[in-house]
Structure 1
């Protein structure tokens, strides 16, 4: 008998819960259709009703002024209170800031906090901090790199004929100047035969300098300099492979065009027989400059004696 009573109690509780949920759903369904009743509700509840209205109405959803007013009413509750700025020496600096006693280059600046001036605009403090950090690095960290010093020994050009030139303006923003890479190689370092050299020159076109016998071309097609360097090396390898292959076409009947490069102007030496030192103007006696030079030499010698062991 007790078991049946407990079952009746459970059934009655589930019925009550279902009716409460149905009533809550009915209230919610009735509330999302009446946006003028949203004013005064919490912001998350208004947002929930707004999404519910958009979902249920689907294509029939049209925003109205009541819904807009209800959403705008929640803006003040979402905004956080801005902290008040408290500056030191406000009363002491009042006359200096308001009156004309302040120098013209310091007018309009906020008052001082202790011994540090607070700037409300610009990046002067950031630049000063960056400069001091650079000076500290140069003074304390760079001397520690002396233990890694190695003697420079240039590699032989016969083993490494390619020369890649990188450039940088030390800026963080990527640009064409930083990504540009130039490849240069001398023809004599490639160990090519006469026919292969001719084909190499013809395939290089205007990129080959006839006077210095050097191939030089650059690339800025990629944003990174390493990508441009890789493309240059791959292109040069294709050019060299094609120049060595004389089975398809050796270009024997095609002459080499040397008109695209201007000839180097010869430098003539002045003949010794034309020189006439006896006709040169006499040197004037510059007393002041001679005295200054002798005084500098005297001071330098005294300074060297004072620091020499």
Structure 2
């Protein structure tokens, strides 16, 4: 048995020995040469050295340093700690003194006033970069400026109005679209305008000479806008076609305009007014003090300006 162990040690010594000059010691007897070797090889050399020396084994500093260098290789791979913005709660959440049952909980609100503690460096650099851009690069855009010339209303008579409600995207208000068009921008003749107003019915406003259509029958605003444009095109094409019927003998219906007028304000006789029954103002101390303070401040300000 001793012979077998001796053979194994000799083979291990030959295996872990470097190609050096004859007469040098095996690798497992030279701990100062273990640095930089893989972790499994270092531990195998360590076991061979303990078994070979037996009772004479005495760990050296070189051997300890070589074994300690394998900690990073044997430790669990953990991602690097990202940059955290929670400066005040860094110690409570990320340091080792946090109890295990409290790790991962939402951040603890600090009762320290942190507004005046300054900003993080990357925020300062970002603001400085924006200041450089506004000072040196934005003025260069002046050579690309062009005068705004809006297109005439006769070329773009339609006006589509969309609604946006951020609380709920699929409600009735969001998908509703309104179309407005002025009849004077359509380039119609008198007969064509007469027929157009008759076909529009109560959707036409005689005061503003505009047609107003709105719908929310489809689930998407784009579909409702497409339907409004198609409906208006059909109405306009029918109004321009005077070959079938021009409705010249039918008068315009203005009855719906009464509902668009402002509501009638009732007029009451003067004898009905009874100021003696009006409520009496009581405990007006605060308002009176405010007025006195204002008067005092005004007097002090004027006295400081007067010679």
Q: TM-score range by the shorter chain?
A: 0.3 to 0.5
Please give the TM-score of this superposition, normalised by the length of structure 1. 0.40
Larger CA Rg, structure 1 vs 2: 2
Please give the TM-score of this superposition, normalised by the length of structure 2. 0.40
